[in-house]
Chain A
Amino acid sequence: MADPAAASGYHDPPPRMGFFTDTSVCIGCKACEVACKEWNAVPDDGLAFTGMSYDNTVGLGADTWRHVAFIEQRRPVPAGADRDGKEGEAEDGLRWLMASDVCKHCTNAACLDVCPTGALFRTEFGTVVVQEDICNGCGYCIPACPYGVIDQRKGDGRAWKCTLCYDRLGAGMTPACAQACPTESIQFGPLDELRQRAAARLDQLHGEGAAEARLYGEDPGDGVGGDGAFFLLLDEPEVYGLPPDPVVTTRDLPSMWRHAAAAATGLMAAAAAAFAAEWLGRRG
């Protein structure tokens, strides 16, 4: 699907907007988490000390729409070249990865597919948003999300997640997290432009020897048709708690329905045949 907004029935929609989160420059300040909660009036969700490095947020949820992960890795660190250009021996070192996670605003969004009320909808910017005044709290979207992003708020029952600041986008503004990010780790813009920028940044990092740098969610050919919010990672996605090969959970739904329909038709035909045989037998 080239443009999910056009496919959803918008005539001449604006360019698809998204996030490119370049984790290689994230400094772990959590300004994105605070700015998100301030703008969207998301409640705090508990004063729990986790001891997971500096991450006391743990993951995305109904009350956390941006989450900064902190990962401490013991690995060899290149010593760098000396004055004669000779590379030094790699030393045992420690690497501290930080990465700000968010709703991926999938091209093929399963949460949207399964929502029975129409509370979840595709915006003209190609993003996926829950309307809080329509959501009835059925919770179908929660197991449908291949990333485990959308979540039910306790004591409220409705489903909540990142709106990519739909209210700000409508006024031509940048989402709160991207606005607050001091290192431009979170970049906001037309998705086409972000993909070009990400490819250039990846080339630069590979050129500087960061062979493990990779993009995550930028490929329109992946299991969710590409993410509206994609990432540059410095290691395997699993290291950051991201699924390595997400697939839209409604992918097999049409084929499942076709199989169920074929089975139902077959059963009805068999029953009809049994009655017909009985009737013919009696006549005979």
Chain B
Amino acid sequence: MQADGKAWLFAPAGLVDGPLPVHYEPQESPFRNPLYGQQRNPVRQVTGFSHPGNRLQPSGGEPGADVFPYVATTYRLTEHHTAGGMSRWLPYLAELQPEFFCEVSPELAAERDLEYLGWATIVTARAAIEARVLVTERMVTLTVGGRRLHQVGLPYHWGGNGLSPGDSANDLIGLSLDPNVHIQEDKAFACDIRPGRRPRGPARLDLVQEYQRRAGITGQTGMEV
């Protein structure tokens, strides 16, 4: 966006990954980039973020990518403000969206035995969180490269305190930053979803590590240019 209110397709200066827009797959994608051989943005910021709490997942075509077969996206609800640290304490706002929930299509609910109003556990290589299940046809199942791809919708306004505590969707997200605005990729990442509440205590970490083992994840996974 420029000062005259218009956006430029050709931006000769100012963008680290300019001057023309191209398509890269997200850091974690169930698919290979259909347009280029280059899978991920080569100038994204991942260097230095290799940490046991920030393991990245293999992407489409790489072994272990099928351990995280779904895509998740996080978003806001009008009733809460950013991560909810303020609005979860206000009764008039908390009562309007009182619990952390995930939105799934009827097709995904059937595939993974997710019960309407029951609990689901969403897992990535970083964390396992639990959410109440809202089954809705608004969550459209996509067809990508001839394959059915289910989406998991996650509002990100919850955390451990307030009148309406709940698990935090942000815990699922890995650090891989956009090179221009340095924002992590919380709009599209791969995950798994399973019925029931998440394990408590050390068993929660065991579950995440079991997923890491199954996907063959190491400190180098997903760090390549």
* B contact patch SS: loop
Q: How far is the CA of A51 from the CA of B94 in the complex (A)?
A: 15
Q: Is the CB of A48 within 8 A of B98?
A: yes
The yes or no answer to A250 lying at the interface (CB within 8 A) is no
B81 CB to closest chain A CB (Å) equals: 12
* Chain B nearest CB, measured from A147 CB (Å): 22
- By the criterion CB–CB under 8 Å, are B78 and A47 in contact? no
Can you list, as one digit per residue, whether each of B69-109 has a CB less than 8 Å from chain A (1) or not (0)?
00000000111000000000001111111110100000000
Known: A34-B92, A72-B136, A72-B137. Is A28-B97 also a contact (CB below 8 A)?
no
Contact check, A30 vs B79: say whether CB atoms are below 8 A apart.
yes
B200 within 8 A of A: no
Chain B nearest CB, measured from A1 CB (Å): 37
Contact A47 B99 (CB under 8 A): yes
Among listed A52-60, A76-84, A162-170, interface-contacting one: A52-60
Residue-wise interface mask of B (103-128) relative to A, using a CB-CB cutoff of 8 A (1 in contact, 0 not):
00000000000001100000000000
CB contact under 8 A between A45 and B138, given known A28-B78, A51-B116, A54-B77: no
A44: which B residues are within 8 A, CB to CB? 91-92, 94-95
Q: Is the CB of A49 within 8 A of B136?
A: no
The CB with the most chain B CB atoms within 10 A, among A31, A38, A44, is that of: A44
Q: Which interface class (under 10, 10 to 19, 20 to 34, 35 or more) fits B?
A: 20 to 34
27 pairs, CB–CB < 8 Å, chain A vs chain B? A28-B78, A30-B96, A34-B92, A43-B91, A44-B92, A44-B94, A44-B95, A45-B95, A47-B99, A47-B163, A49-B99, A49-B117, A49-B132, A51-B101, A51-B132, A51-B133, A54-B97, A56-B96, A56-B97, A56-B98, A57-B95, A57-B96, A72-B136, A72-B137, A74-B137, A94-B138, A96-B138
Which of A29, A37, A49, A57 is in CB contact (< 8 Å) with B101?
A49
Q: Is A33 among interface residues, defined by CB-CB distance under 8 A?
A: yes
What residues make up the interface of A, taking CB atoms closer than 8 Å to B? 28-31, 33-34, 37-38, 43-49, 51, 53-54, 56-57, 72, 74, 94, 96
Contact among B94, B116, B132, B134 for A47, CB-based, below 8 A:
B94
Complexed CA–CA distance, A74 and B133 (Å): 20
Q: Say how far B97's CB is from chain A's closest CB, in angstroms.
A: 6
- Chain A binding surface, main DSSP class: loop
| Total number of residue pairs linking A and B with CB closer than 8 Å | 55
Contacts of B134 in A (CB 8 A): 51
B137-164 at interface with A (beta carbon < 8 Å): 137-138, 163-164
Residues of B within 8 A of A72 (CB): 136-138
Min Cβ gap B198→A in Å is 17
Residue among B92, B133, B136 making CB contact with A37, cutoff 8 Å: B92
Q: Mark B50-86, 1 if CB is under 8 A from A, else 0.
A: 0000000000000000000000000001110000000
Chain B hits for A31, CB < 8 A? 78
Contacts of A30 in B (CB 8 A): 78-79, 96
Nearest chain-B residue to A27 (Cβ)? B78
Most buried by B among A29, A45, A48, A54: A54
CB distance from A101 to the nearest CB of B (A): 15
By Cβ-Cβ distance, the 3 closest A-B pairs, closest first, are A44-B91, A47-B98, A49-B99
Smallest CB–CB gap between B165 and chain A, Å?
Answer: 10
Taking CB atoms, residues of chain B closer than 8 Å to A57 are: 95-96
- The answer for the CA separation of A51 and B133 in the assembled complex, in Å, is 8
Q: How far, in Å, is B160 (CB) from chain A's closest CB?
A: 16
Question: Bound complex: CA of A34 vs CA of B116, how far in Å?
Answer: 28
B117 (CB) vs chain A CBs: closest residue: A51
In the bound complex, CA of A51 to CA of B118 (Å)? 10
> B117 — which chain A residues lie within 8 A by C-beta?
49, 51
Contact A47 B136 (CB under 8 A): no
Q: Which residues does chain B contribute within 8 Å of A38, judged by CB atoms?
A: 92
A270 → B minimal CB distance (Å):
61
Name the residue of chain B whose CB is nearest to the CB of A74. Answer: B137
Which residues of the partner chain B approach A53 to less than 8 Å between Cβ atoms?
Answer: 136
Docked Cα-Cα span, A46 to B91, in Å, equals 9
Min CB distance, B163 to chain A, in Å? 6
- A47–B101 contact, CB under 8 A? no
- A44 to B163: give the CA distance in the assembly, Å: 12
Are A33 and B96 in contact, CB atoms less than 8 angstroms apart? yes
**A53–B101 Cα gap in the complex (Å)?**
11
| B155 to A, closest residue via Cβ | A54
Chain B: CB-nearest residue to A55: B96
Tell me, rounded to whole Å, the shortest Cβ–Cβ distance linking B182 to chain A: 30
Residues of A close to B163: CB separation below 8 A: 47
Chain A positions within 8 Å of B132 at CB level: 49, 51
| Residues on B with beta carbons closer than 8 Å to the beta carbon of A56 | 95-98
Residues from chain A with Cβ under 8 Å of B137 in the complex: 72, 74, 94
